[in-house]
């Protein structure tokens, strides 16, 4: 299983990417929007790279994702991801668009659809700024999203739907991480542990 970021580490990685985006550089705007959307939704890297502009509903703050087996699902995202997407779409994407761009939501530096390898690199770079965070990629962000949702009180079935898992047993893998964290907290804080 990939390493899971603590909440403070995820926040630190997002803050670092936002600092870069504040400079208005198109690639930094894109990278920040990618990180925010990955963490907000827990989508797979292939699903993220396959998104088109019209897959994003800003009014309802949901993204329409085509997952494994061409199954479609709607996944909500929060205000920070919406803000980052808006900044990317107005200030970043227009500068990278060319004849190969089509309707792709995220673009590479040469104007084509962003590829998973570039997403892996930008995630590694952002996570590397978080103190004590283990080196992880987009799948680690996905695991972190699921773990943070479960730790925050989300039920397993809802997390299954959000992640697009066909079976609940796949989603149950994330409960192991949560139980391990609970054990660590118990050992650290309970007087009779």
How many distinct structural domains can be found in the chain?
1
The confidence score (pLDDT) of residue 163 equals 79
What pLDDT, in 10s, does the model give residues 72-123? 899 999 999 999 999 999 999 999 999 999 999 999 999 999 999 999 999 9
Residue 69 forms part of a structural domain: yes
φ, ψ of residue 38 in degrees (nearest 5): -60, -50
pLDDT band per the 50, 70, 90 thresholds, residue 40: very high
60 in a structural domain: yes
| The predicted structure's pLDDT at residue 171 | 63
- The mean pLDDT of the chain is 88
Q: For the domain that residue 55 is a member of, what is the CATH number?
A: 1.10.443.10
Give the predicted TM-score (pTM) of the model: 0.85
Confidence of residue 168 (pLDDT cuts 50, 70, 90): low
Residue 2 placed within a domain: no
Written as one string, the DSSP assignment of the chain is: ------HHHHHHHHHHHHHHHTTT-HHHHHHHHHHHHHHHH---HHHHHT-BGGGEETTTTEEEEE-GGG-EEEEE--HHHHHHHHHIIIIIHHHH--TT-TTBSSB-TTSSB--HHHHHHHHHHHHTTSTTPPP--HHHHHHHHHHHHHHTT--HHHHHHHHT-SSHHHHTHHHHHHHHHHHHHHHHH-TT-
Confirm whether 1 is domain-assigned.
no
In which domain, by residue range, is 132 found?
Answer: 7-189
Residue 136 lies in a domain: yes
182 lies in a domain?
yes
Residues designated catalytic: 44, 68, 139, 142, 165, 174
């Amino acid at each position: 299983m990939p390493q899971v970021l603590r909440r403070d580490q995820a926040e630190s990685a997002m803050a670092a990417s936002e600092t870069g985006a504040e400079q208005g550089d198109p690639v930094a705007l894109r990278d920040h929007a990618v990180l925010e959307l990955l963490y907000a939704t827990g989508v797979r890297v292939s699903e993220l790279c396959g998104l088109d502009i019209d897959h994003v509903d800003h009014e309802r703050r949901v993204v329409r994702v085509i997952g494994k087996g061409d199954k479609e699902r709607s996944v909500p995202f929060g205000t920070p991801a919406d803000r980052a997407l808006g900044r990317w779409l107005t200030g970043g994407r227009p500068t990278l668009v060319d004849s190969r761009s089509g309707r792709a939501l995220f673009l590479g530096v040469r104007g084509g659809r962003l590829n998973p390898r570039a997403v892996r690199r930008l995630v590694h770079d952002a996570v590397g700024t978080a103190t004590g965070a283990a080196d992880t990629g987009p799948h680690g962000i996905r695991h972190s999203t699921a773990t943070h949702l479960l730790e925050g009180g989300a039920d397993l079935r809802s997390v299954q739907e959000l992640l697009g898992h066909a079976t609940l047993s796949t989603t149950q893998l994330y409960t192991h991480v949560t139980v391990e964290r609970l054990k660590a907290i118990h050992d650290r804080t309970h007087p009779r542990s």
